[in-house]
């Protein structure tokens, strides 16, 4: 039987629920996992919030704030699911306390904070990982395999969009994601971070960028007390929106490929439209998160008159991670990406090796995010500096 590891998680909202699914189900799906996580403690801003989450999500105990949990002697892994402004402080404190660290994306508020986090984990030797969970979609992993096998030849084009519409109502309140001091940026850091990481994973490093950022609704009602997330309620007073509603940019990759990226929360009719297409010298691949069990592939080497897009249903046991789930054709969902991520994290901790995507991947993504912001300010191409 695999050894166990006690987990402490800071953050009890949307991402806390998603991560909890990963810890709860990993041993069920993958009996070969090298460490079995124990959901030991969950912390939130208030003890009431933490206790409520504990009861619903299945954690053993609850606590207030983050300072206590990172020092708990019976916890070996700290999971950071808070607002972006707290990532650095919690991760650094956890690493210095000898805890492994699993952190939500984007890694931090800026490149300087990312480097501080990396310094802490390097000095202490703890395992670290960033939750770019879309790498763990089986169809995306299959795309990675196919690209490495030469299925599309030399990559020429990357084009990606991440489209949502949940804040289009001007009366939707000023949640933390709309405040620069808490989030760092808006759709850019929240959504572009994901497709930047996917581009790094599937195509290669980004060399330089040219972008623009736009805020469509500059004032919103302040948040009513004790509400938040998608169910947030508006208060009486108005406040300033200090992040972008939409960010678009062009990119030049180090390997010669070119790319386009678009992230917005103002694309009506798109609930979670994470889509990309890669065109290469011998073929193309495209993916749509809202159809996450499918990968589309075009092979230009097919016989003339027989060419066309092929849809691969990525549910067979031979496909990445699918051995842990159901018979072929029985689809999986978004939450399973967190189970796959935790599977890799547990095995990484057991092997004393930080699995990708780790803090170095988080830093690379943050450097692109920051370069795009500089470009939007200057109107010029900006080289990505790590």
342 falls within a domain: no
CA atoms of 268 and 162, how far apart (whole Å): 12
d(CA 184, CA 190): 9
In a domain, 353, yes or no: no
How much is the pLDDT for 365?
Answer: 98
Answer yes or no: is 69 within a domain: yes
- Rounded distance between C-alpha atoms, residue 186 and residue 329, angstroms: 37
Quote the pLDDT of residue 2: 86
273-280, strands of its sheet edge to edge: 310-313, 294-299, 283-288, 273-280, 155-163, 258-264, 246-253, 206-214, 382-383
Domain limits at 92?
3-133
306-362: per-residue pLDDT in tens? 999 999 999 999 999 999 999 999 999 999 999 999 999 999 999 999 999 999 999
Q: How far apart are CA 123 and CA 200, in angstroms?
A: 26
Per-residue confidence (pLDDT) for residue 233, from 0 to 100: 75
pLDDT at 228: 56
Tell me what pLDDT residue 229 has.
59
pLDDT at 306: 96
- Written in H, E and C, the secondary structure of 296-338 is EEEECCCCCCCCCCEEEECCCCCCCCHHHCCCCCCCCCCCHHH
Whole-prediction pTM value?
Answer: 0.96
Closest CA relative to residue 238, chosen from 174, 169, 167? 174
Residues 299 and 167 in one domain: yes
Q: How many structural domains is the chain composed of?
A: 2
Position 274 pLDDT exceeds 70:
yes
Instruction: Tell me which residue of 321, 348, 366 sits closest to 197, measured CA to CA.
Output: 366
Q: Which residues pair with 223 in a beta bridge?
A: 234
56 shares its domain with 199: no
- Both 65 and 213 in one domain: the answer is no
């Amino acid at each position: 039987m695999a050894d166990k590891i006690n987990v402490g998680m800071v953050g009890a909202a949307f991402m806390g629920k998603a991560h909890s699914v990963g810890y709860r189900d990993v041993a069920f799906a993958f009996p070969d996992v090298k460490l079995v996580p124990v959901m030991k403690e969950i912390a939130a801003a208030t003890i009431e919030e933490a206790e409520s989450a504990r009861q619903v999500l299945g954690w053993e105990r609850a606590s207030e704030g983050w300072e206590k949990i990172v020092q708990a002697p019976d916890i070996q892994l700290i999971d950071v699911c808070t607002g972006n402004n707290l990532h650095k402080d919690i991760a650094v404190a956890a690493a210095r306390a000898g805890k492994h660290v699993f952190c939500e994306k984007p890694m931090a508020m800026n490149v300087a904070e990312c480097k501080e986090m990396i310094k802490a984990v390097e000095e202490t030797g703890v395992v670290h990982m960033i939750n770019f969970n879309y790498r763990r979609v089986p169809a995306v992993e299959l795309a990675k395999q196919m690209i490495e096998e030469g299925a599309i030849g030399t990559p020429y084009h990357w084009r990606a969009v991440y489209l949502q519409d949940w804040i289009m109502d001007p009366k939707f309140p000023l949640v933390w994601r709309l405040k620069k001091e808490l989030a760092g940026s808006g759709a850019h850091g929240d959504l572009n971070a994901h497709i930047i990481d996917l581009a790094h994973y599937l195509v290669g490093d980004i060399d330089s960028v040219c972008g623009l950022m736009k805020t469509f609704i500059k004032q919103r009602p302040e948040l009513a007390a004790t509400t938040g997330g998608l169910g947030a309620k508006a208060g009486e007073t108005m406040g300033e929106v200090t992040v972008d509603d939409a960010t678009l940019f062009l990119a030049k990759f180090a390997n010669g490929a070119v790319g386009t990226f678009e992230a917005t929360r103002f694309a009506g009719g798109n609930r979670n439209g994470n889509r990309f297409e890669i065109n290469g010298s011998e073929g193309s691949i495209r993916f749509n998160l809202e159809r996450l069990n499918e990968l589309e592939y075009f092979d230009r080497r097919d016989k003339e008159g027989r060419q066309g897009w092929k849809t691969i249903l990525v549910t067979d046991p031979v496909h990445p991670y699918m051995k842990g789930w159901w018979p072929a054709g029985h689809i999986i969902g978004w939450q399973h990406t967190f189970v796959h991520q935790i599977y890799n994290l547990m095995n990484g901790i057991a092997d004393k090796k930080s699995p990708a995507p780790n803090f170095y991947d988080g830093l690379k993504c943050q450097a692109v995010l920051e370069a795009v912001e500089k470009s939007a300010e200057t109107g010029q191409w900006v080289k990505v500096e790590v």
